[in-house]
Amino acid sequence: MSPKLFWIILVTSALTLVAGILVLNFMPGEKQIETRLTRHYDSNDPQFRRSLGVLLGPPILEGNKVEVLLNGDEIFPSMLEAIRAAEKTITFETYIYWSETIGQEFSDALAERARAGVRVHLMLDFMGSMKMDLAQIDALKKAGVLVQRYHKPVWWKLARLNNRTHRKLLVIDGKVGFTGGVGIADQWRGKAQDEKHWRDTHFRIEGPAVGQMQAVFNDNWLKATGTVLDGPDYFPALPPVGDMPAQVFSSSPTGGSESMHLMYLMAITSARKTIDLSAAYFVPDDLTIRTLMEAAKRGVRVRIIMPGKYIDSDLVKAASRERWPQLLAAGVKLAEYQPTMYHVKALIVDTLLVSVGSTNFDNRSFSINDEANLNVLHPEFARQQEAIFEADWRLAKEVTKEAFRERPWWQRVTTGVASLVKAQL
């Protein structure tokens, strides 16, 4: 064999291997929902609640207490206080965890509890934690923290590189849980007072639904380590502590990837009066767009808040604009948050259902990433979240049909380009 032919074969084989890996990463893991849901019931129909439990997996449990935490000044102290009070176990799964001031505070608190004998399990997405110093990870391990980095690039897992854990779950002693949109990085500090401090919401939960949150954490811990976390230190008896019906459920391309997509479609389809959506990243698929438009056309007031000029992904922003004309024509109200990056992920339907967690309103969250959400069906809690949404709406600039038609030419070009890769956003 000539040297030239050898190199041709070698390069061709390498390119074929790379192409195969890319195809495996970008193909959906399971069959996606293709047809719109039939509207069998309203959100106030008992069947809506039954269907949420049956179709999404875990049942809706009574007796929970959920507290809203706004921005870093409320979120981080509450999480750190719970960590420092842990007596038996801490399970913590997150996407963003960086070596900045707040990252160091969390690492110090986790390490201290591990040295005190608390079993601390930390699941970090490899990509999301790339800005974390290896020395900080080593210090955690030395203190006794069990650290796992989800889908670290290794040759036998190259086909899974595109699948990240985007879940944001913290459970203390199996009794207190946290979820929402916040990552462990300094831009989440403060109170969204300027463009360097992001607007976000997190939630603290007590009651029987915390056991479901622990089970979601256990899902990825088992996949990564082969170890099952069980027993009363992780799953204690959880008596009622409040009056909120709640459910924690998950989605993953390795099983149940359509659960999150299905939940949003069910909620939008059942809406009678109002849909308020806070969407940090808004690039929905065709089916979700049609479902939103149909809701608006039947008289549901649909409002969506998205980031404005402050956003950490210009590509997402460009792709999002592709479907705005259809939504505006159907009567959907769109607004861009002005003061800073808007990272809130929340859905409020008919002053009843509130769904919060890690999920973005895009294909990556619906079918590629591992996600987890908390659903609460409680009118008083929903009214509280609506009031927060109203406050955010007042700080947002509504998108009008006229202004959108007059947008700069370069926005039209970038939208066209970004739309080519919207399935990966």
Residue 422, pLDDT score: 47
Its domain, for residue 330, covers 29-424
What confidence category does residue 368 fall into, taking pLDDT thresholds of 50, 70 and 90? confident
| CA–CA separation, 207 and 184 (whole Å) | 25
Tell me: the pLDDT tens digits for 129-154?
889 999 999 999 999 999 999 866 55
Tell me: the pLDDT tens digits for 305-351?
999 999 987 787 777 788 889 999 999 999 999 999 999 999 999 99
Split into its structural domains, the chain has a count of 1
Tell me: the pLDDT tens digits for 4-43?
555 655 555 444 444 444 344 444 555 566 677 889 999 9
Residue 26, pLDDT score: 46
Least confident stretch, 12-16, 73-77, 391-395: 12-16
Domain assignment present for 1: no
- CATH number of 83's domain: 3.30.870.10
Domain assignment present for 277: yes
343 is a catalytic site residue: yes
* Active-site position among 151, 261, 317, 343: 343
**Residue of 327, 388, 328 whose CA lies nearest to 356:** 388
* Active-site position among 285, 350, 362, 392: 350
Residue 52, pLDDT score: 94
Domain assignment present for 13: no
Domain assignment present for 10: no
**Residue of 177, 273, 175 whose CA lies nearest to 233:** 175
261 is a catalytic site residue: no
* Active-site position among 121, 125, 173, 276: 173
* Active-site position among 121, 151, 168, 261: 168
Domain assignment present for 14: no
Tell me: the pLDDT tens digits for 178-233?
999 999 999 999 999 999 999 999 999 999 999 999 999 999 999 989 999 999 99
* Active-site position among 121, 125, 151, 166: 166
Residue 132, pLDDT score: 92
Task: Count other Cβ atoms within 10 Å, centred on residue 343.
Answer: 25
Domain assignment present for 4: no
166 is a catalytic site residue: yes
| CA–CA separation, 147 and 225 (whole Å) | 10
Domain assignment present for 3: no
345 is a catalytic site residue: yes
For the cut 90, the answer to whether the pLDDT of residue 73 exceeds it is yes
Q: Please give the share of the chain, as a percent, with pLDDT higher than 90.
A: 70
Q: Please give the share of the chain, as a percent, with pLDDT higher than 70.
A: 83
Residue 365, pLDDT score: 80
* Active-site position among 121, 151, 345, 378: 345
Residue 62, pLDDT score: 98
Tell me: the pLDDT tens digits for 255-287?
666 888 999 999 999 999 999 999 999 998 899
Domain assignment present for 20: no
Residue 253, pLDDT score: 77
Strand pairing class (146-150; 119-125): parallel
